[in-house]
Amino acid sequence: MPETAPAPAPAKEYIWGTGRRKSAVARVRLSRGQGVITVNKRPFEKYFLTEDDRQTALSPLQATKAFGRYDILVLVDGGGISGQSGAMKLGLSRALIKVETALETILRGQGFLTRDPRMKERKKVGLRGARRGVQFSKR
């Protein structure tokens, strides 16, 4: 009797969401799990050191009461830590909607699906910065 190969384990299903804030870009991957959160191959608490950034990044989970249901892997690049936490918030919100479309009303109502359009203003020709003029010299 020929041996049959064991059936492969079902592949874990991943849901992706992308978030941007200022010049930061976060790619968030959700999968069913225990609630492990990893940011750039580091534990969440080691990456976002301030409580304010942690709360900003995890606010969609608090609003939808989804703590501990998903393993979250985040690859974030560019910008500063605050911009990165804001980008993670938007990416996490978008990924949660792909998992459960019923959450959209909760997330949209609290403003988690609105991308913050504020960006750094460009430097203008003839000036020293975006708005700063040249220094006045009397002589």
Q: Domains along the chain?
A: 15-109 (3.30.230.10)
> Taking the model in full, what pTM does it have?
0.85
Span 63-122, pLDDT tens digits: 999 988 999 999 999 999 999 999 999 999 999 999 999 999 999 999 999 999 999 999
Per-residue pLDDT at 38:
96
Higher pLDDT, 56 or 6: 56
Mind listing the pLDDT tens digit for each residue in 11-69?
A: 678 999 999 999 999 999 999 999 999 999 999 999 999 999 999 999 999 999 998 89
pLDDT, residue 4, reads 72
For the chain, the farthest-separated pair of C-alpha atoms sits apart, in whole angstroms, at 101
Alpha-carbon dihedral 64, 39, 49, 68, rounded to 10 degrees:
30
The per-residue pLDDT for 32 is 92
CB of 59 closer than 8 Å to CB of 106:
no
